[in-house]
Every structure is written in structure tokens, then in C-alpha cells.
Amino acid sequence: MWCIVWFVVMAPFFIAGVIKLRRILAEHPEQKMIVALSGAFIFLLSSLKLPSVTGSCSHPTGTGIAVVFYGVGVCAVLSTIVLIFQALLLAHGGFTTLGANCVSMGILGPLCGLIIWKLVRGAGAGAFISMFFAAFIADLMTYVVTAFQMSLNLMTAVNADFMDALVEMLSIYAVTQIPLAIVEGIILGMFAHYLYTTRPEIFEITDANKLNPLSVEA
């Protein structure tokens, strides 16, 4: 049941993202490189399985740049491309869980990151600090949402107590993720600073980027 639910939740964001992406490429072809760059960070960082303080491994998500520049819809599309690559070639994630993974990694986690970006940037912080917090929250919230999804599944499938399952899943996913989210925040923060010092005009894209996750304005 949850397989279908998460695909249904994902669908409007994904469709809005495809429409927005087509408009960006048609109306602003000069931004193709930034779009590719946004996807490249998701490709690179989500492939790096890193050890964490819990004695377990996990991977960053790399969605910070994509969501800050192009919003939730485009981020969902780019994340889905990476998730399909991993599901098809690595059996990592999988196709039946694609909707759930896209909702956590491509939609809700990055949406939280974008909200933080708008708040911190609006408060006058620089590119490094703003991107650090946006990437940190996007990464961490991805795994918090995953823990919620797993707990909901366990509650309905085997009548597990939701709160017990949630605490256990958060301890597995979210705690492991904290140091990795900090590392991701620093790396993307440094890249945002590099962009700001070399091509500050690029950040006009972020100002035009809407918080509305279903926005299709290019």
C-alpha cells in the first residue's frame, strides 16, 4: 500500500519539476551548466558511503545546491535520476521504494533545506553560512522522513507501536546522519562561497526561486 501512496505523493512534485526543468532549459539555456552542476552534486555525494560515529555507514544526499537554485520540483527530478541509476545498476534503494525515497530525499528533506536557506539568507547571512544550514537540514531531514516512512510501514504492516518504531528508526538513521550532514554542509557551503566570489550573478537565480514546491516558473 505504502509503495503506491508514496508514488502518488511524489507525482505532482515530479511533474512540476519536469515542466520547470523544460522551461529553464528553453528560456534560460545559459543555466544548463548550473542545472548539470546541481545534479552532479547529488550524483557525487550520494555515492559516497562514509563511516559515522555510531559505527555505521551512511551517505550524504547532495541536494542542497539543487533545491536552493531550482526548488523542490527540479530537485525531485534530479534525485529521481540518481535513485533510478542506483536502483537499476546497484539494487540500492529499488523501484518499489522509488516513490518513498524520492519523497524523503528529493522533496521533503530539500523543502526543509530551502525554508532554512530563505530564513538564514533573509537574515543577512553570507553564502557559506546559508548553504551550510540549508544542506545540513536537507540532509538530516531526508533521514528523519525516512524514519517516519519506515515507522508508518511497520505500524500498518505488523501492528508495531509507531512511537517505538520511530525512536528506533531515528536512532538508526538520524543519529548516524548528523556528522555526515555537518560534513555535507561544510562542503556545499564552501562551494557556495566559491560560486559567490567568482560568479555572484548566479545567486540571482536563488532570489527568483520560489518556496512553493509546485511552482513551475522558470
Partner 1 sequence: MADSKMIYVAGFAVVFVMCLCIFVFTNGDWGGSDDSGGEAADDYGYEAWLTDWIDAIYGELPGEIESLLFAVQAAIGAIIIGYFIGVNSGKKKALASQQAQ
- Tell me if 206 contacts partner 1 by CB under 8 A: no
Query: Binders of partner 1: how many residues, by CB under 8 A?
Result: 60
Listed in sequence order, the residues at least 6 apart from 118 whose beta carbon sits closer than 8 Å to its beta carbon are: 211
- Tell me if 172 contacts partner 1 by CB under 8 A: yes
- Tell me if 82 contacts partner 1 by CB under 8 A: yes
> Cα(28)–Cα(36) distance, rounded to whole angstroms?
13
> Cα(108)–Cα(60) distance, rounded to whole angstroms?
15
Interface region with partner 1, contact rule CB under 8 A, candidates 17-25, 105-113, 115-123, 184-192: 184-192
> Cα(27)–Cα(21) distance, rounded to whole angstroms?
10
Which of 12, 47, 203, 210 is close enough to bind partner 1 by CB under 8 A? 47
Interface region with partner 1, contact rule CB under 8 A, candidates 10-18, 22-30, 54-62, 210-218: 54-62
102: number of CA atoms within 13 Å, CB side? 35
- Tell me if 183 contacts partner 1 by CB under 8 A: yes
- Tell me if 128 contacts partner 1 by CB under 8 A: yes
Question: Quick one: which of 46, 56, 49, 125 has its CA closest to 78?
Answer: 46
CB of 14 to partner 1, least distance (A): 21
φ/ψ of 191, rounded to 5, equals -70, -40
Q: Which is nearer to partner 1, 54 or 215 (CB)?
A: 54
Whether the CB-CB separation of 97 and 3 falls below 8 Å is answered with yes
Question: Quick one: which of 132, 93, 138, 94 has its CA closest to 115?
Answer: 138
Q: Which residues bind partner 1 (CB under 8 A)?
A: 33, 36-37, 39-58, 62, 82, 85-86, 89-92, 94, 96, 128, 146, 150, 153-154, 157-158, 160, 165, 168-169, 172-173, 176-177, 179, 182-183, 186-187, 189-190, 193-194, 197-199
